[in-house]
Chains A and B, each alone.
Chain A
Amino acid sequence: MAVADAIEAVDLAVTPLRDLNQRLHEPDPAPRWRIAHPSGAHAVAVGIDAEIEVDVDGHVGYYCAGMNKRATVRVHGNAGVGLAENIMSGTVAVDGYAGQSCAASGRGGLVVVRGDASARCGISMKGVRIVVEGSVGHMSAFMAQKGVLAVCGDAGDALGDSIYEARLYVRGSVASLGSDCVEKELRAEHADELGELLARAGVDADPRDFRRYGSARRLYSFQVDDAV
């Protein structure tokens, strides 16, 4: 087997998590990693800044793949609170569900959740693209500033509350829209953008089945009525 194809196998039942993360942070880490027995540990594979691939077999705790840059991290299980928070670039994908505040404040990259993501998915997103095959909980895309959130299922209450310029696409129902979030026409360029995003995420869905939501831009200037 060529060196480039070798897979670094790390068993978290044996190796301390801090050792794993330090090895991932070394200047020239191995290109492919396979992590066993995460057992719900927090901060698995955080802070990577390298074009590597990391597969995690099992459920992870909080902040998995946080601050990710360039790497592809795949979790073959569920993820806890704050998956890929502040992601800069690269891809983070989860086979199961993601806990609250998925991709919070993410600046770039792609986050894919095959199951549901719970409350506050994409809170304060600043450029990240998020695809959720299931549904998202309440207050998703709260204060979203930039980026795309695509939800194939339903969205909970107060979607896009206080949103700035992010684009939201939902195929199912929306329990309620948050302050200053409105439905907008899904034009050809949006369908193209969404189609490309869904394809990249490996999701088989027709962009024409989605509805688009975004900012009404009424909160940009202070109005006393909004302060009540």
Chain B
Amino acid sequence: MCGIVGLFAKSPDVELRLGALLGAMVTQLADRGPDSAGMALYREPAALGSTKLSLFSSDPHEAWAALGDAAVHASHAVVELEGTADEAVARVRERFPHLRVMSAGDRIEIFKEAGHPREFVERFGLAEMAGSHGLGHTRMATESRVTTEGAHPFSTGLDLCLVHNGSLSNHNRLRRQLRREGISFQTENDTEVAAGFLEWRLREGDNLHEALERCLVELDGFYTFAVGTADGFAVLRDPIACKPAVMAENDDWVAMASEYRAIAVLPGADAAEVWEPEPARVYSWDRARV
């Protein structure tokens, strides 16, 4: 089943409360996905010449201090390292090979974990986090194991992440094809393949809109996707619209969710414009537009 949510702040007040509001949205969709939960938040950019990394350790006693100034959230930590993303990731892999890089970029921070969404929101202290926009996911696993690595969001490109409700049927063939194109994968999960597919298309020169439209041609299966980028987010449903989606907007925010009840917790939701996104149509918001 799975539940997905997205929230884009249009006012400073919503930016300040972004983590709390997304946490409330994710908790509302706990019964669509009680296995695992995850969130991607787009926050303050890294210092010039540095890269922000989200790291995961399966060791509850991880000595995060060895990485320097790390913001620790349960099993994850966010660090800023000097250099490009490639350099920063390479350094972590060399010096701390047991750590898993969940995201890399200028603004993105990803947190995800197996377990109930409500506990996830509390354990990671998400209510305290501000940001410009973010995505969340509650997972009911169908295609791969219930692990932290199999939880969403998936990030394969810089500042790029994807949450998915549905399942893909041609992910094994696509994964092989994308590996030949140089895209690397960390799991056997179908959603990670969709994220990798987007990374490949963006690398080949598509813009996000074009890359998502290409999904309609190449991906077999059913899906509602929400995709986060440094500047905003986009939503796409498969042509048959197997999986539900609702969108809403007012002067303070733009939101999407699998079900309206996740939007109902947002301030002013009663009076917001609410609609169901059409199948096979790309919807997107970014800071330049709002």
Contacts and interface: CB of A to CB of B under 8 A. Distances in A.
Contacts of A97: 274-276
A156 B107 CA distance: 40
Given A99-B276, A137-B279, 4 more contacts: A80-B244, A97-B274, A97-B275, A118-B241
B132 to A, nearest CB: 25
Interface string A60-81: 0110000000000000001011
Nearest to B263: A40
A74 B275 CA distance: 19
Contact of B260 (A61, A100, A118, A119): A61
A220 to B, nearest CB: 27
A29 interface: no
Contact of B259 (A80, A96, A118, A138): A80
Interface in A121-148: 137-138
B244 A81 contact: yes
A116 B274 CA distance: 12
Interface residues of B, number: 17
A152 B240 CA distance: 23
Nearest to A58: B270
Contact of B276 (A39, A41, A62, A118): A118
A40 B244 contact: no
A41 B259 CA distance: 9
B264 A137 contact: no
15 contacts: A40-B259, A40-B260, A59-B260, A59-B264, A62-B259, A78-B274, A80-B246, A80-B260, A97-B276, A99-B246, A118-B241, A118-B278, A119-B241, A137-B279, A138-B240
A78 B241 contact: no
Interface in B249-272: 259-265, 270
Nearest to A79: B260
B264 A39 contact: yes
B276 A40 contact: no
Contacts of B275: 97
Interface in B210-262: 240-241, 244, 246, 259-262
Contact of B279 (A42, A59, A61, A138): A138
A118 B263 CA distance: 19
Contacts of B260: 40, 59, 61, 78, 80
Interface residues of A, number: 20
A80 B244 CA distance: 9
B236 to A, nearest CB: 15
Given A80-B244, A99-B244, A100-B241, A41 B270 contact: no
B261 A61 contact: yes
A61 B270 contact: no
Contact of A40 (B240, B241, B261, B278): B261
B267 to A, nearest CB: 13
Contact of B261 (A39, A118, A119, A138): A39
A96 B279 contact: no
Contacts of A62: 259
Nearest to A117: B276
B29 to A, nearest CB: 11
B241 A59 contact: no
What are the 3 A-B residue pairs with the smallest beta carbon separation, nearest first? A40-B261, A40-B260, A39-B264
Contacts of A100: 241, 244
Contacts of B262: 40
A85 to B, nearest CB: 15
Contacts of B241: 100, 118-119, 137-138
A137 B240 CA distance: 10
Contacts of A80: 244, 246, 259-260
Contacts of B278: 118, 137
B128 to A, nearest CB: 25
